[in-house]
Amino acid sequence: MMDNFTPDRFADEFDAAGVPQELRGWLSRYGVGALVVKMGIKFLELGPERSVATMPVEGNTQVAGILHGGAHVVLAETLGSFSAALHAGEGNHVVGIEVGATHHRGVSSGLVTGTCTAIHLGGTLVTHEIVMTDELGRRLSTARITNMIRENRHR
């Protein structure tokens, strides 16, 4: 059973995902999420304007043996949502209102790198573009996500 009171309850999850020490306090209430762990996503850089992460192709393929299109979107939405939440700041949360992707090329092995770049950092809406590349730097897909900033409700 997980609770919101155990100190460092996500330490193993944070280590596995490569979450920088300075962001662990911010993430300590919820962790990075089971899907991030399951997909093997590893954060290299996290910030409101730019975030970077990798994800293995192995274990995330579709029946034709290439990276599943949904896996591209999972990586993109993860990066865009984390970046938007960092922009929103304490006392706020974000909700995704639109995500879309264009797939340019398939990949059947190795690591995919997602690079998330802010397009618009507003007070209500936040939009990021995420480009997925293979180990040779070839563009695999391009995604865009828009998140809405909401104030946390106090109960």
Q: Which residue has the tokens 């093997």?
A: 40
Q: Which residue has the tokens 């954060």?
A: 43
Beta-strand pair 42-45/92-103: unpaired
- Is 45 a catalytic site residue? no
Which residue intervals of 5-155 are DSSP H helices? 11-17, 21-27, 34-39, 69-88
86: three-class secondary structure by DSSP: helix
Question: What does the angle CA 35 – CA 41 – CA 42 come to, to the nearest 5 degrees?
Answer: 140
115: three-class secondary structure by DSSP: strand
Give the active site residue among 13, 22, 58, 77.
77
Query: Where in the sequence numbering do the catalytic residues fall?
Result: 77
